[in-house]
Amino acid sequence: MSYLPPPKRDWEMTPAAFGKLLACLHPDHERAGEEYERIRQKLIIYFEGRKCSPADEHADEVINRVARRLDEGEDVRDLNRYVFGVARLLRLEIIRQPQSEGESNEHLGRLMVFPDLDAAVEDRMDFLERCLNSLAPESKEMILEYYQGEKREKIDSRVLLAKRFGLSANGLKVRVCRIRAKLEDCIKDCLRRLGKSD
Amino acid sequence: MQTKTPEADVMAKYLLGELSDAEQETVEEKLFLDDDWFDRLRVAEMELIDRYVQGGMSQKERSQFERGFLTTPDKIEKVTNAKTFMRHVEQLEPARAIEPETSRPFWRSLASYFSFQSPAMQYAMAAAVLLLAVGGAWLVYDRMRLRREVYEARNQQTKQARESDQRMQQQRAELQQALDQKEKELQQQLARSQGKDQEIDKLKSEIAGLRRQQETLPLRQPGEAITTVLSAGPRSRGARGSPEPVSIYLKPQTKKLSLRVQLKPPIALRYNVSLSQEGGRPVKEWPGVRPRRTRSGQYLGVTMAASLLSEGDYVLRAHEAGRGGKAVSEYRIKVFRK
Residue A173: which residues within 8 A CB-CB, separation 6 or more?
Answer: B43, B46, B47
Residue B273: which residues within 8 A CB-CB, separation 6 or more?
Answer: B261, B285, B286, B289, B300, B302, B316, B317, B318, B319
Residue B314: which residues within 8 A CB-CB, separation 6 or more?
Answer: B275, B276, B277, B278, B283, B332, B333, B334, B335
From residue B273, alpha-carbon distances to A31, A33, B120, B249, B299 in Å are 42, 38, 82, 21, 12
User: Hey, is the C-beta of B72 within 8 angstroms of any chain A C-beta?
Assistant: yes
What confidence category does residue B100 fall into, taking pLDDT thresholds of 50, 70 and 90?
Answer: very low
Rounded CA separation B137/B110 (Å): 14
Does position B51 have pLDDT exceeding 50, yes or no? yes
Q: Which backbone phi and psi does B86 adopt, to 5 degrees?
A: -65, -35
Q: Is this model's pTM higher than 0.80 or not?
A: no
Q: Which backbone phi and psi does A117 adopt, to 5 degrees?
A: -85, -15
Letter for the amino acid at B211? R
Rounded CA separation B207/B74 (Å): 44
Q: For strands A52-53 and B327-337, give the pairing.
A: unpaired
User: Hey, is the C-beta of B12 within 8 angstroms of any chain A C-beta?
Assistant: no
What confidence category does residue A8 fall into, taking pLDDT thresholds of 50, 70 and 90?
Answer: low
Average pLDDT for B173-190: 82
Q: In the predicted model, what is the mean pLDDT of chain A? A: 83
Q: In this structure, are residues B305 and B258 in contact, taking their beta carbons and an 8 Å threshold?
A: no
Task: List the 155-214 stretch of B: residues with Cβ below 8 A of A.
Answer: 162
The winner for highest mean pLDDT among A50-59, B152-161, B195-204 is A50-59
Does position B118 have pLDDT exceeding 60, yes or no? no
**Is the pLDDT higher at B293 or at B20?**
B20
Rounded CA separation B109/B169 (Å): 58
Residues A177, B39: C-beta atoms closer than 8 Å: yes
Does position B26 have pLDDT exceeding 60, yes or no? yes
ipTM, two decimals, is 0.84
Cis peptide before B222 (omega within 30 of 0): no
Q: pLDDT value at position B152?
A: 72
Task: List the 79-118 stretch of B: residues with Cβ below 8 A of A.
Answer: 79-89, 92-93, 96
- Give the CA dihedral B262, A187, B288, A121, nearest 10 degrees: 80
Q: In this structure, are residues B250 and B257 in contact, taking their beta carbons and an 8 Å threshold?
A: yes
User: Hey, is the C-beta of A12 within 8 angstroms of any chain B C-beta?
Assistant: no
Q: For strands B271-277 and B282-289, give the pairing.
A: antiparallel
Q: In this structure, are residues B177 and B231 in contact, taking their beta carbons and an 8 Å threshold?
A: yes
Rounded to 5°, angle at Cα B203 from B199 and B205:
115
Closest-CA distance, A13 to chain B, in angstroms, reads 23
Share of chain B above pLDDT 70, in %: 72
| Chain-centroid distance, C-alpha A112 | 23
User: Hey, is the C-beta of B41 within 8 angstroms of any chain A C-beta?
Assistant: yes
Residues A181, B304: C-beta atoms closer than 8 Å: no
Nearest to A88 by CA among B215, B32, B278: B32
Choice among A82-86, B10-14, B74-78, B242-246 with the minimum mean pLDDT: B242-246
Q: In this structure, are residues B303 and B257 in contact, taking their beta carbons and an 8 Å threshold?
A: yes
Rounded CA separation B299/B291 (Å): 5
Does position B136 have pLDDT exceeding 60, yes or no? yes
Does position B15 have pLDDT exceeding 80, yes or no? yes
**Is the pLDDT higher at B197 or at B333?**
B333
pLDDT by residue (tens digit) across B288-318?
888 877 666 777 888 888 888 888 888 888 8
pLDDT by residue (tens digit) across B52-94?
998 889 888 888 888 888 877 778 888 989 989 998 888 776 5
Q: In the predicted model, what is the mean pLDDT of chain B? A: 75
User: Which one-letter DSSP state was computed for residue B236?
Assistant: S
Average pLDDT for A60-88: 92
Among B43, B81, B285, the residue with its CB nearest the CB of A173 is B43
Residue-wise DSSP of chain A: -EE-PPPPPS----HHHHHHHHHHH-SSHHHHHHHHHHHHHHHHHHHHHTTEESHHHHHHHHHHHHHHHHHTT---S-HHHHHHHHHHHHHHHHHHSPPPTT--HHHHHHH--PPP-HHHHHHHHHHHHHHHHHS-HHHHHHHHHHT-S-HHHHHHHHHHHHHHTT--HHHHHHHHHHHHHHHHHHHHHHHHHHHHH-
